[in-house]
Amino acid sequence: MSGQKTLSISQEFSEAIQQANHQQALASDPMASVFVSASAGSGKTKLLIDRLLRLMLPRPNPAGGEGLPGSLPARILCLTFTKAAAAEMAIRLQKRLGRWVTLPDDALNAELQALSVPCTVETRRRARALFAEVLDLPGGMRIGTIHAFCQSLLRRFPLEAA
């Protein structure tokens, strides 16, 4: 009896993980407008990094036809609530991009497939080039706090803010 109970709990746990992974994949789609609210340790930062990577990589066009090119890292602004969260996002992004540079094609294909982006020669090339692109940005990726962003606007446009 306890063996059946353990199997049932294990199966329920596996189904819950699959459902959570599916929901994260939907939320990380750069074409979707989403609001994410979850407790600490639930995967919000992973979701944001996945969304950021999907935004920078070539992706299928939902309207059909030719795929969409990836966005340039210099044109992306990531805002979060705390400095710690911004720093964590920047570190995780750099680690992931750094790992992609040295991954063999099949391992990189598996990572790209998990992000729901096409596994093509062009996508792999772009994925490996992103590490250098982000490193070459003055000050790195623009990942900061909402507070700092608002302060920068006030400094740039003091008369308009009055």
Class of CATH domain 2-161: alpha beta
Output the pLDDT for position 76: 92
Q: Quote the distance between the C-alpha of residue 63 and its chain's center.
A: 22
Output the pLDDT for position 3: 55
Conformational region of residue 112, where left means phi above 0, alpha means psi within -120 to 50, and beta covers everything else:
alpha
CA distance 94 to 78: 14
Output the pLDDT for position 98: 95
Output the pLDDT for position 133: 94
Instruction: Indicate the residue type of 97.
Output: L
- Tens digit of each residue's pLDDT, the chain (162 residues): 555 555 577 777 778 777 777 777 766 777 777 777 777 877 788 888 999 999 999 887 777 777 778 889 999 999 988 999 999 999 999 999 999 999 999 999 999 999 888 889 999 999 999 999 999 999 889 999 999 999 999 999 988 887
- What are the angstrom distances between the C-alpha of 91 and each of 42, 88, 98, 125? 18, 5, 10, 22
pTM for this structure? 0.78
Residues whose CB is less than 8 angstroms from the CB of residue 39 and which lie 6 or more positions away in sequence, other chains included? none
Output the pLDDT for position 125: 94
Structure tokens at 53: 């990577």
